[in-house]
Structure 1
Amino acid sequence: MYTNFEAMTKVKVLSYTISLDGYGAGPEQSLEKPMGLGAEHLHDWLRETKVFGKMVGQELGSEGFDNDFVEKGFENLGAWIMGRNMFGPIRGDWPNGEWKGWWGPNPPYHVPVFVLTHFEREPLTMKGGTTFYFVTQGIEAALEQAKKAANGRDIRIGGGADTVRQFLKAGYIDELHLAVSPVFLGSGEHLFAGIDMVSLGYKTVQRTEGELATHLVITKG
């Protein structure tokens, strides 16, 4: 049974970028091409924002609608859940403790982050309040741990597309914000593969044209 704080928590997908043909990443993701082949411009809308500029130590970037959505994506967060692909390109067992994510010593999360994986690894504490916990028991275990850590605040589900699909199929997502980038990928990780959003009860409640992306906010009807 969840506590009152846990019952207040909402599970959200925020600032998740897809292409015009619905892909969240291209094929053949790697260390050199973390978003896959042909996807180098997928996140142009995000990289042009002031919030992203601050993340990489630059006082540059726009302050329009795109930036507003990125800012909202960090409000009232108490925990993150992400797939292993979002944490890094390593596959199989963890060979050593050298890989600590894409983000350097001070990741942008600043809350507990629960990483879905099939292989055990000790928690990884980083600067700025981010600790990565590696969960091998599946999405329900990760969600239970994240709700306890969030203490009434919201939980943000990160990528990749397979992680988002798992939470959608299970009916755990309360709100889904998609940023549709004006590019085609043709193949890769399709966000809605095997998912009937109508039968799951979702509907679009808000559409906003940003500077470099179209933003769709989707909730259950």
Structure 2
Amino acid sequence: MSRLRVNAFTLSIDGFGAGPDQDLKEPLGVGGEALHNWMFGTRTFRNMSGDDRGTTDTDDRFVARSFENVGAWIMGRNMFGPIRGEWPDESWKGWWGDNPPYHVPVFVLTHHPRDPIVMEGGTTFHFVTDGIHSALEKAKAAANGKDIRLGGGVATVRQYLREKLIDDMHLAISPMLLGSGENLFAGIDMLKLGYRCSEQVATPNATHFIIERA
């Protein structure tokens, strides 16, 4: 049975998954890119851009795990790009170039319809306008029994958390403070929703937590 997973989702010590003032120059907000320093040096991450170097340590194993058995993705429009409102044209096709790192169908939550975008490497972006439950149903059908990985942004993960639709989460806590931005857990009672921490691993670059729904 397909599971809905959050993987390699990085937070600051004070709970922010993105910094303030997100825009084209700062897609993760001011200071947000530094959250992911634990990942950038790993071999799995570097392999996505054709670099065969990188570390093969605990951080790398968590990145590698995040891509295992994934048959589809769901992401918010904020993760897909910086454009707001109606699509002005068909030119924006994501941050990742002609061959995005997904290689499976990706379902983008939006209020504004758009035709699917077929990319190189097996990635097709589908735009879902009728809510998170519809996106999950479509992703499960496309995943063909494999898992669905839920990407960002923070607001998207919060929507699925509130509905208790996420089966498990891998959170990487980066050793830095952001002070403001998008806070993942603000106003959400994870215990009442039935989640618990099942694994904790610390590395020099991050502390990794696995949270599962009981």
TM range (shorter): over 0.9
Corresponding residue for 2:190? Answer: 197
Residue number in structure 1 paired with 2:202: 209
- List, as ranges, runs of 4+ consecutive aligned residues in structure 1 with deviation greater than 4 Å: none
Cα deviation, 1:20-40, whole Å, max 9, x if unaligned, reads 000000011011011101223
1:148 and 2:170 aligned: no
What corresponds to 2:155 in structure 1? 162
CA distance in 2, matches of 1:121, 1:198: 38
Find the aligned partners of 2:44 and 2:120 in 1 and give their Cα distance. 19
Q: Tell me which residue corresponds to 1:125.
A: 118
2:62 to 53, 58, 69: 69
After superposition, residues 45-84 of structure 1 pair within 5 angstroms as 45-84=38-77
- Say yes or no: does 1:103 pair with 2:96: yes
Percent identity, aligned pairs only, is 58
In structure 2, stretches of 5+ residues that fail to align are none
Q: In 2, distance between residues paired with 1:154 and 1:39?
A: 27
Describe the superposition over 1:88-110 as per-residue Cα deviations: whole angstroms up to 9, x where unpaired: 11111111111111111000000
Task: Check the 8 A contact 1:66/1:211 in 2, yes or no.
Answer: no
TM-score (norm 1): 0.95
How far residue 117 of structure 1 moved from its aligned partner, in angstroms, is: 0.4
| CA shift digits 1:79-131 (9 cap, x unpaired) | 00000010011111111111111111000000000000010000000000000
CA RMSD after TM alignment: 0.8
**1:179 and 2:172 aligned:** yes
C-alpha deviations, 1:139-174, integer Å up to 9, x for none? 011001001001110000000000000000001000
Distance 1:40 1:164 in 2: 18
Q: Does 1:137 align with 2:133?
A: no
What is the rounded CA distance, in whole Å, between the counterparts of 2:16 and 2:114 in structure 1?
A: 30
Instruction: Give, in whole Å, the separation in 2 of the partners of 1:153 and 1:142.
Output: 15
> How many residues are matched?
214
Give the TM-score of the pair, scaled to structure 2.
0.98
Deviation at 1:18, TM superposition (A): 0.4
Confirm or deny: 8 A CA contact 1:17 1:42 kept in the other structure: yes
Deviation at 1:210, TM superposition (A): 2.6
What is the rounded CA distance, in whole Å, between the counterparts of 2:140 and 2:31 in structure 1?
36
Q: Distance in 2 between matches of 1:216 and 1:122?
A: 37
